[in-house]
Structure 1
Amino acid sequence: MRAIDLYSGIGGWSLGLRLAGVEVVASYEWWQPAIDTHNGNHGGTLAPVDIRKLALADLPLDIDLVVGSPPCTEFSYANRGGSGDIVEGLKDLVKFLEVVDHLKPRWWALENVPRVADVLERGLRDPKHVLYRFRHLAPHIEVVDFSEFGAPQARRRCIAGNIPLDLIRAFQPKLGKPTLGGVVSALASKGVVTDPVWGVAISANQLTEMEAEAPLNGEELRMNREAKAYHPVYNNMAFPDPMDEPARTVTATCTRVSRESIVIADPRVAGSFRRLTIRERGCLQGFPITYQFYGRSFAEKAKMIGNAIPPTFTHLLALAAQGVPPNAFKGLDHAGRRLGLPANPAPVTLPDREGRTYPEKRSFRAAVPGLRFKSGMRFELSNAFEDQLPGWRMRFFFGSSKDVREVVFDGAIWDEFKDTPVGATLGTLSGAFRAAAAELGRTDAERLQRVWTHRAEGLAPFEVVDLLGDLAEKVHARLLADCGALIEADAERYVVVVAEEAAGGGKLPNKGKLERYALRILSGFLVADWFNGLSWHDEARAAA
């Protein structure tokens, strides 16, 4: 069987096809580091090609299979929250389908992010859409999880084409369920390292890309935990990542403090945590331990791996296209016997280092523990600059992602409650508020910013966040003890009134949640109003 590979990247399609005995007669790619990796592993001489300008007449003939992964950037929700340029992204989908329509292969398959499934389905049935002219191709469109096809990674992607996925699923009983922990432990072996997916074995001193970056420092660890386990808007993730199941999606871009980073407990150092090595990322993406990544930096290698398609899936697709019966499939480890190391190892690239210093106006924004209610409703501590001086404020947000509302705290709330049972309760907590103020007295607004940018030592912003959360918890507990059910109804009414004023009329978003958490929200109101009114904020400005 003869195939061509469009938008071939580092060779995820080509590797899987070739291990299945398919002849890949041509591959096309534009990004030089990916081309270097493709050539280095497949012995080719590919050169950069602008696939959009590829002349159909220049394509090879007698092609049985067309595969490819057009760029997903404009369709990905990770790109500006899904606000990519869809029209731009469609140009590559159109080009891929033009090639299929021109060559008329027996089989074809396109891979992309899940959102493309909807783009294709809508376009092929809308007479005004640019994709409508390809409706006669009648592709089967489905979103699959590559962890069900041999990859040690839960990666959901759209597969469109005319190869019945049922044929591919028929191989699943012989695939097993590789896990993140299985990959990490296999690659840490001494002496001989055996690929947990493909079964190929090499000596440990031949295993490349195992340079581990420094463990996350305390600040990075906190930021990672907050972004994953306590994100105020998105679903919670486990932290650290569980080792007894497939990894989360390996992404093309991530930093030491990003929500997307896979973070594991470092088995070498008790109590420490780290991100993955390049080899661990590649193995999770389904590339064998013999595969080399010819990038010029850690970030470049991570990008090329995160953009790739797992060759575990492409191998099974190639078997299905050739009509291999399920009972003839002997497993990925049988195919892996054909693997070997390429002549030249990839260059060693050191991993990212922890940040030493940051811009003087480095931004800070963190939800306060105990005062985060999901769906975007939360109390935050954040910084802002006025006349070049930092200001720190506690704020309350509610509403939808497209209609965010904010309550401003300026001291008025304490005045409203001073002659009420709530005011009396606050009086019994005066010692707690004085202790919190004394703790804040260890620093000032300007020094707190300098600590955040690693230009000074002392009380850090996350410590202030925890201080505010602890204080709000004390207020909430005392209100419950002193006032009980008598105040809960009043709290519901008060919180709703304040939110309605912030919303400026109209339908109040998240009213049910505001009422459900009213007493805890009121506790946050009181702490935020107290904190924002402290003279602590003005001392650095007065000195300036």
Structure 2
Amino acid sequence: MKWNEFLRAVDLYAGIGGWSLGLRLAGIEVVASYEWWQPAIDTHNGNHGGSVGPVDIRKLSLDDLPCDIDLVVGSPPCTEFSYANRGGSGDLAEGMKDLVKFFEVVAHLKPRFWAMENVPRVADVLEAGFANRKHPLYRFRHLGARIEVVDFSEFGAPQARRRCIATNIPFEAIRALESKLKPKTLGDVISALAAEETIVDPVWGVSLPAAKLTEMETEVPLGPEELRMNRDAKVYHSVYNNMAFPDLLDAPSRTVTATCTRVSRESIVLADPKVAGSFRRLTVRERGCLQGFPITYQFYGRSFAEKAKMIGNAIPPTFTYLLSLAAKGVTLEEFEGLDAVGLTLSLPEKLAPITPPDQEGRTYPLSRGFRAALPNLRFKSGMRFDLSNDTSRPSAAWRVRFFFGSSKDIREVDLDGSTIEDLHGNVLIGGALRCAAADMQSMERDLRATTPQALQSIWARKSEGRGPFALVDELGELAATVHTLIEEAIGDDEKVAIEVENYILAIAAAASVDKPLVSASKLRKYSSWVLAGMIVGDWFNTLDWHQLDKQLFKSRARSPQEALQVFPVPA
């Protein structure tokens, strides 16, 4: 095959045109594109001059497809396969319908080449399907699928985005072209788009006067509450790995997602270089550039959220361009880089509508939920103490709760006052409790200045005052004080330290009911911290401040006497 060979392609699940842009830049004719979501169709048509209409691809008749097709590409919906969807509990059978439809089209058209993109999990689905006679995909095993999970940052996009690529195009041919690409970073994009006079696309090289660059409307900076919630979700998440906050500029960005709010673990957050201590999220243009779309590309959504969704669902045209060149047999020596073709790009006649970015919420319903892990009591893998509210009652209920286990097997210990009852008679730990009494009384006096419902009103922005995050921090500080007193009480007495560990394990075992105990090693490792957290949680949850009946708490199926047998009073 030659560089100038003429190829005809069909684009299934076309979205906003990530596949079509790469194909067309490589000189491949896109004979037909199929998509169902109208905002994506508007963007596809606006940039490619087409007249694509909404189509339910599942119901697409194979007889209505064009003939003599050399290449079939597409990105079937990934929602049901994504681990971001209900923790990976999507309807796999529902998602399978689109995979089957894609391969039915390929099998019907019999193109020389085909390629499909999806979330990484689909790689396992495809491999299992092609190997299992009873699987719906087994009948397509003859299509010669080569399945890999790739990172698009290695193929020109300034974004670390891992995706499954299944194709019969040799991966060696695609990877051979990437060696001519210079890695791009989040900082490359941010600085390039901030130029004052001429904007030079950091990926494609095309330039525009700064006045003609669209989609650069910035959100108001994150407020103190939003900043706290974003930082906690990224740096102190109780289950998932930590993220950098703010996002690092000297590396490809994290994955640009389709759904994210001003308070979200997934949001990419920048430190504003113009205002010290100020942080903001990405503009639409920055999102598009990180996804590999040129600065000339327009996003015809009706809102900021709609544009963010269409960009987050797209495939980077940087990758689709390289794949298209590989299909045409272009060699590394013939490949001139992205700039060579990028300089041919220009703005479409109609520019995208201006859509105001999201703003910080001014007020929320009184039912607004709250949950935040206590500082000093976050142990990862799901084990943590947190403060949360319950608005299902006439008066808001605020409780400290203790969770342990794993991300897929979380268990809870009720903090109902039993631990403090257990330990008051203990010579060592009981003494530590009495030493902490002054701090507890001081905090209780502060709480009397408000009520649970007043705290809820502040959280809903219906009134002003010290909100629940201040309470979270105070409880975390109190836990640190109690922990210091416990450590001083234990001292170098290894026997007592072991007794504390066994006491914590006994409580966790009782909370596990008929299940085997989990996280025993972590409970042992942090036993003195867990004990401090249980004491603080017990104390807070049983304050008269709550004005709650005792039936709020479930029984832990153990008595103080039983616990004291595990953690006896030293002679």
TM-score, normalization by structure 2: 0.93
Q: Does 1:432 align with 2:434?
A: no
2:528 aligned partner: 519
CA distance, structure 2, for counterparts of residue 479 and residue 371 of structure 1: 15
Q: Pick the aligned partner of 2:351 from 345, 351, 364.
A: 345
Residues 207-240 of structure 1: per-residue CA shift (max 9 Å, x gap): 0000001111011111111111111011111111
CA distance, structure 2, for counterparts of residue 382 and residue 506 of structure 1: 26
Shifted more, 129-138 versus 279-288: the winner is 129-138
Q: Does 1:495 align with 2:504?
A: yes
1:259-338 alignment runs, 5 A limit: 259-338=265-344
Q: Pick the aligned partner of 1:201 from 199, 204, 207.
A: 207
* Contact 1:440–1:464 (8 Å) recurs in 2: no
CA distance, structure 1, for counterparts of residue 319 and residue 31 of structure 2: 20
1:22-171 alignment runs, 5 A limit: 22-171=28-177
Residues 45-84 of structure 1: per-residue CA shift (max 9 Å, x gap): 1111111121212211111111110111111111111111
CA distance, structure 2, for counterparts of residue 537 and residue 386 of structure 1: 15
Query: Which one-letter code corresponds to 2:82 in the other structure?
Result: S
Residues 406-431 of structure 1: per-residue CA shift (max 9 Å, x gap): 11122222122113211112222222
Q: Does 1:210 align with 2:216?
A: yes
* Contact 1:444–1:539 (8 Å) recurs in 2: no
* Contact 1:442–1:459 (8 Å) recurs in 2: no
How many residues get paired?
541
Query: Which one-letter code corresponds to 1:78 in the other structure?
Result: A
Change (3 A) 1:247 1:44: same
2:481 aligned partner: 474
CA distance, structure 2, for counterparts of residue 255 and residue 170 of structure 1: 38
Shifted more, 171-180 versus 204-213: the winner is 171-180
Residues 496-524 of structure 1: per-residue CA shift (max 9 Å, x gap): 11111111144101111111110110011
Shifted more, 285-294 versus 129-138: the winner is 129-138
Q: Pick the aligned partner of 2:516 from 497, 503, 507.
A: 507
Query: Which one-letter code corresponds to 2:543 in the other structure?
Result: L
Shifted more, 429-438 versus 419-428: the winner is 429-438
SS in 1 for 2:135: coil
Could you tell me which runs of 5 or more consecutive residues in structure 1 were left unpaired when the two chains were aligned.
none
* Contact 1:443–1:459 (8 Å) recurs in 2: no
2:239 aligned partner: 233
1:530 aligned partner: 539
Q: Pick the aligned partner of 2:178 from 169, 172, 190.
A: 172
CA distance, structure 2, for counterparts of residue 336 and residue 465 of structure 1: 52
Coordinate RMSD, CA, aligned:
1.4
Q: Pick the aligned partner of 1:418 from 393, 414, 424.
A: 424
Change (3 A) 1:195 1:540: farther
CA distance, structure 1, for counterparts of residue 349 and residue 465 of structure 2: 53
Counting aligned pairs with the same residue, the percent is: 65
Q: Does 1:459 align with 2:466?
A: yes
TM-superposed deviation, 1:294: 0.4
TM-superposed deviation, 1:266: 1.5
Q: Does 1:376 align with 2:385?
A: no
Query: Which one-letter code corresponds to 1:171 in the other structure?
Result: L
Q: Pick the aligned partner of 1:400 from 397, 406, 409.
A: 406
TM-superposed deviation, 1:539: 8.5
CA distance, structure 1, for counterparts of residue 319 and residue 23 of structure 2: 10
TM-superposed deviation, 1:540: 12
Query: Which one-letter code corresponds to 1:518 in the other structure?
Result: S
CA distance, structure 1, for counterparts of residue 393 and residue 202 of structure 2: 57
Could you tell me which runs of 5 or more consecutive residues in structure 2 were left unpaired when the two chains were aligned.
1-6, 551-571
* Contact 1:3–1:24 (8 Å) recurs in 2: yes
